């Protein structure tokens, strides 16, 4: 059985900030926000992930915050499904090409 490590307040805050910021990064574009409609995607998986969040961080979060985390997890699954359905060909270029300047 694994021993549970105590996390510091700083680690906890960084984890929660990461969870909260992830949906914001995805929905930066208004076009993406209009085309992505929330739907019931894999509710069992979302529920399982929320059980983990509640077990690890539930005592530190209010019900409103837990609902926001659940909404973010659901949005991430919606985005993942859309990405899986977007077909690419071998010749498609990446959206961003990195070039180092000398």
Phi, psi of 3 (to 5 degrees): -85, 140
The verdict on residue 63 lying in a domain is yes
Please report, for residues 15, 22, 55, 99, 101, the alpha-carbon distance to residue 19 in angstroms, rounded to integers and kept in the order given.
6, 6, 15, 31, 34
The verdict on residue 18 lying in a domain is yes
Residue 31 has pLDDT above 50, yes or no: no
Three-state SS for 97? coil
The two three-digit tokens of residue 12, written as one number: 């906890």
The verdict on residue 100 lying in a domain is no
pTM, 2 dp: 0.49
The two three-digit tokens of residue 52, written as one number: 């983990």
Which is more confidently placed, 21 or 28? 21
The verdict on residue 54 lying in a domain is yes
Domain count, the chain: 1
The per-residue pLDDT of the chain, averaged, comes to 76
pLDDT digits (tens, 9 = 90+) for 42-58: 678 888 999 999 999 99
Residue 17 has pLDDT above 90, yes or no: no
């Amino acid at each position: 059985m694994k021993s549970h490590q105590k996390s510091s307040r700083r680690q906890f805050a960084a984890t929660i900030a990461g969870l909260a910021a992830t949906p914001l990064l995805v929905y930066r574009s208004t076009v993406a926000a209009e085309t992505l409609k929330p739907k019931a995607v894999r509710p069992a998986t979302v529920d399982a992930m929320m059980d983990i969040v509640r077990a690890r961080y539930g005592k530190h979060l209010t019900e409103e915050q837990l609902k926001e985390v659940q909404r973010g997890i659901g949005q991430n699954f919606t985005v993942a499904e859309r990405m899986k359905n977007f077909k690419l060909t071998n010749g498609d270029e990446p959206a961003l090409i990195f070039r180092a300047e000398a």
